[in-house]
């Protein structure tokens, strides 16, 4: 089975803290994605990566950065967390002949 794992299911951070959200996939997929999910807004793309050390901005990159040093790992970084970044964060990777996006379980981040 494809496995996309995320480092935490729940996270509580204070305003101004630097936050790292880690995502790891074990299927050797080249493409990985970070989405943010908010009620009534659906899933919105923050950043994605086609390969190691490559990154592309999505629809809402402001306030976020990413790191892809190894193929299996894609990290989302909140340089200085703010309350409006309280959300569910979902990581995904694409692969297989059906090009399905496999999603991780999500990290629910609360910034107080």
Partner 1 sequence: AQKVTQAQTEISVVEKEDVTLDCVYETRDTTYYLFWYKQPPSGELVFLIRRNFFDEQNEISGRYSWNFQKSTSSFNFTITASQVVDSAVYFCALSEAWSGNTPLVFGKGTRLSVIA
For partner 1, the binding residues in 52-71 under the rule CB under 8 A are: 58
Residue 99 binds to partner 1 (criterion: CB under 8 A): yes
Per CB under 8 A, the segment of 16-24, 25-33, 62-70, 77-85 that binds partner 1 is 25-33
Provide the token pair at 64. 């976020």
Q: Does the footprint of partner 1 cover residue 100 (CB under 8 A)?
A: yes
Q: Among the candidate windows 17-25, 28-36, 64-72, 73-81, which touches partner 1 by CB under 8 A?
A: 28-36
Q: Which among 90, 92, 103 has a CA at the least distance from the CA of 38?
A: 90
40 binds partner 1 (CB under 8 A): yes
Question: What are the Cα distances from residue 63, in Å, to 29, 47, 50, 76, 98?
Answer: 26, 11, 21, 11, 33
CB of 35 to partner 1, least distance (A): 8
Q: Are 22 and 83 in contact (CB under 8 A)?
A: no
Q: Are 91 and 6 in contact (CB under 8 A)?
A: yes
Where along the sequence are the contacts to partner 1 (CB under 8 A)? Answer: 30-31, 33, 35, 40-45, 48, 50, 58, 88, 90, 92, 94, 98-106, 108
């Amino acid at each position: 089975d494809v496995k996309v794992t995320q480092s935490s299911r729940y996270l509580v951070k204070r305003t101004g803290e630097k936050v790292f959200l880690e995502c790891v996939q074990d299927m050797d997929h080249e493409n990985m994605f970070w989405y943010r999910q908010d009620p009534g807004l659906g899933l919105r793309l923050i950043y994605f990566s086609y390969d190691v050390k490559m990154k592309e901005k999505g629809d809402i990159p402001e306030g976020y950065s990413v790191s892809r040093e190894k193929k299996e790992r894609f990290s989302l970084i909140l340089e200085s967390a703010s309350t409006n970044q309280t959300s569910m964060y979902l990581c995904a990777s694409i692969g297989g002949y059906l090009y399905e996006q496999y999603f991780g379980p999500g990290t629910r981040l609360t910034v107080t």
